[in-house]
């Protein structure tokens, strides 16, 4: 599925994945110092696959996705590294070329569909606009397409709703319209930034179902950004866990849920409430708060909160762990100084029995 990333390897055009992010860094200079929102991120994604990115607020999930779309202001952000989309490099590309790819090759679904749609334009007008930038068609054809899209995402009587304004839609319908807009140009890469966070649970399930169906239909690659592990488990093929602007564990859903290797991933799994436990034991939160992105802790960024970190002077506090494969040729990679044996031992004997 994904190849183990070797920094020294020369980039080979033939072996490139559909989406390949290499050593991506997105920094924001501020008055308080340099904010390292994303600091050396690597991942790949193939067509038809879904990558779930999980992590707490400020771990760099959204900044990464906006970076892929080229939506960071060049003036107040610094981006380096490589983003390869279908053989094209995006970080160094002309902003106008990236602009032309937006909406057509890559599209995004935002978290809050009410604030993400223009309140003064009808749903139809906004979809038509998205379609007509990339397709030279008449308004009438575009309108037909918009109605068609609204119908496909499950909006009843789309020919009437097309002329409604966003405030006349319910939350779930609005998110469907947002999805219709994002999919209007058949994007090959769809980034969904917490698409169900603002919705109630029953609607959540419908939207996830819809995304899965549409993915099968369009064969697009999806990046699903969320802090809800349930959503990730439901939809993803692979999962990337982010912490402090870096990827600390990557693997398939199976690997991440059944044999997670990083203490932070254990913490995330422990944070999922379980109804079959006593109320006091249901939640095991990760103690402490997310690190400051201006002053990341030395060594492993997670060490101040890590219950398994070795004391001062150990590699945990001095050396930043690299993301390495847990076994040869395995796609399961983890960035932790604990030895594989220690990790297996802690997981089997301390963590798993209590989850």
Partner 1 sequence: MGAVVMLVIVSMVTFGIFFQLPKLAGQTTDQLAASYVGKAPTAEAIADVKERLGLDDPLAVQYGRFVKGVFTGQDFSNGPSVEHCAAPCLGYSFRTNEPVLPTLLDRAPVTLSLAVGASLIWLVAGVSIGILSALRRGTVFDRMAMATALAGVSLPVYFTGLVSMAVFVYTFRLWPNGVAYSDFTENPGLWAWNLVLPWVTLAFLYAATYARLTRSQMLETLGEDYIRTARAKGLPERTVIGKHALRASLTPIVTIFGLDLGLLLGGAVLTEQTFSLPGLGSLSIHSILSGDLPMVMGVVLLATVFIVFASLIVDILYAVVDPRVRLG
Question: Contact positions toward partner 1, by CB under 8 A?
Answer: 66, 69, 71, 99-104, 107-108, 110, 112, 115-122, 129-130, 133-134, 165, 167, 181
What's the CA gap between 66 and 248, in Å, rounded?
Answer: 20
Kindly tell me which of 164 and 237 has the beta carbon lying closer to partner 1.
164
In the complex, minimum distance from the CB of residue 191 to partner 1, in angstroms, rounded to a whole number: 9
The tokens describing 176, both together, are: 């469907």
Write the CA distances from 58 to 7, 243, 290, integer angstroms: 26, 8, 7
199 torsion bin: left (phi>0), alpha (psi -120 to 50), beta (else): beta
Q: CA angle, 289 as apex, 270 and 252 as ends, to 5°? A: 40
Nearest CA-CA partner of 177 in 114, 252, 236: 114
In the complex, minimum distance from the CB of residue 167 to partner 1, in angstroms, rounded to a whole number: 5
In the complex, minimum distance from the CB of residue 106 to partner 1, in angstroms, rounded to a whole number: 9
Q: Where are the beta strands (DSSP E) in the chain?
A: 19-30, 33-45, 50-54, 78-85, 88-89, 106-109, 189-193, 221-226, 238-243, 246-252, 324-325, 333-334
In the complex, minimum distance from the CB of residue 56 to partner 1, in angstroms, rounded to a whole number: 21
In the complex, minimum distance from the CB of residue 131 to partner 1, in angstroms, rounded to a whole number: 9
Kindly tell me which of 131 and 302 has the beta carbon lying closer to partner 1.
131
Q: Which residues, at least 6 apart from 104, have a Cβ–Cβ distance to it below 8 Å?
A: 134, 185, 187
Kindly tell me which of 101 and 309 has the beta carbon lying closer to partner 1.
101
Q: How far is CA 248 from the centre of its chain?
A: 14
In the complex, minimum distance from the CB of residue 16 to partner 1, in angstroms, rounded to a whole number: 23
Nearest CA-CA partner of 154 in 205, 103, 102: 205
In the complex, minimum distance from the CB of residue 259 to partner 1, in angstroms, rounded to a whole number: 37
Kindly tell me which of 97 and 217 has the beta carbon lying closer to partner 1.
97
Kindly tell me which of 107 and 149 has the beta carbon lying closer to partner 1.
107
What's the CA gap between 129 and 283, in Å, rounded?
Answer: 46
Packing angle, helices 171-183 and 139-152, rounded to 10: 130
Kindly tell me which of 183 and 256 has the beta carbon lying closer to partner 1.
183
DSSP element (H, E) containing 266: helix 263-270
What's the CA gap between 210 and 227, in Å, rounded?
Answer: 20
In the complex, minimum distance from the CB of residue 238 to partner 1, in angstroms, rounded to a whole number: 24
Kindly tell me which of 198 and 336 has the beta carbon lying closer to partner 1.
198
In the complex, minimum distance from the CB of residue 121 to partner 1, in angstroms, rounded to a whole number: 8
What's the CA gap between 150 and 135, in Å, rounded?
Answer: 18
Kindly tell me which of 181 and 253 has the beta carbon lying closer to partner 1.
181
In the complex, minimum distance from the CB of residue 107 to partner 1, in angstroms, rounded to a whole number: 7
Kindly tell me which of 106 and 306 has the beta carbon lying closer to partner 1.
106
Kindly tell me which of 5 and 169 has the beta carbon lying closer to partner 1.
169
Write the CA distances from 292 to 165, 266, 298, 351, integer angstroms: 40, 21, 12, 27
């Amino acid at each position: 599925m994904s190849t183990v990333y070797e920094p020294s390897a020369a980039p080979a055009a033939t072996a490139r994945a559909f989406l390949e992010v290499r050593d991506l860094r997105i920094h924001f200079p501020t008055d308080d110092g340099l904010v390292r929102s994303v600091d050396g991120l690597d991942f790949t994604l193939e067509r038809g696959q879904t990558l779930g990115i999980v992590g707490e607020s400020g771990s760099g999930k959204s900044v990464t996705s906006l970076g892929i779309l080229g939506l960071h202001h060049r003036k107040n952000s610094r981006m380096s590294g490589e983003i390869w989309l279908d053989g094209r490099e995006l970080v160094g590309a002309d902003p106008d070329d990236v602009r032309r790819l937006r909406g057509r090759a890559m599209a995004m679904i935002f978290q809050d569909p009410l604030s993400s749609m223009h309140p003064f334009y009808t749903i139809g007008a906004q979809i038509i606009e998205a379609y007509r930038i990339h397709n030279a068609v008449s308004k009438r054809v575009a309108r037909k397409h918009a109605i068609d899209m609204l119908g496909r995402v499950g909006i009843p009587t789309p020919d009437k709703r097309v002329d409604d304004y966003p405030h006349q839609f319910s939350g779930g319908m609005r998110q469907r319209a947002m999805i219709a807009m994002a999919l209007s140009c058949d994007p090959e890469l769809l980034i969904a930034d917490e698409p169900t966070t603002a919705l109630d649970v029953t609607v959540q399930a419908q939207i996830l179902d819809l995304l899965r169906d549409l993915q099968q239909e369009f064969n697009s690659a999806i990046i699903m950004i969320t802090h809800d592990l349930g959503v990730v488990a439901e939809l993803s093929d692979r999962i990337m866990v982010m912490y402090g602007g870096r990827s600390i564990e990557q693997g398939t859903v199976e690997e991440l849920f059944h044999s997670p290797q990083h203490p932070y991933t254990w913490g995330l799994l422990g944070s999922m409430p379980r109804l079959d436990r006593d109320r006091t034991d249901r939640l095991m939160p990760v103690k402490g708060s997310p690190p400051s992105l201006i002053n990341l802790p030395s060594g492993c960024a997670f060490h101040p909160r890590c219950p398994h970190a070795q004391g001062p002077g150990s590699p945990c506090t001095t050396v930043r762990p690299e993301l390495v494969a847990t076994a040869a040729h395995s796609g399961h990679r983890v960035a932790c100084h604990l030895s594989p044996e220690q990790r297996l031992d802690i997981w089997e004997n301390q963590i798993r029995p209590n989850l």
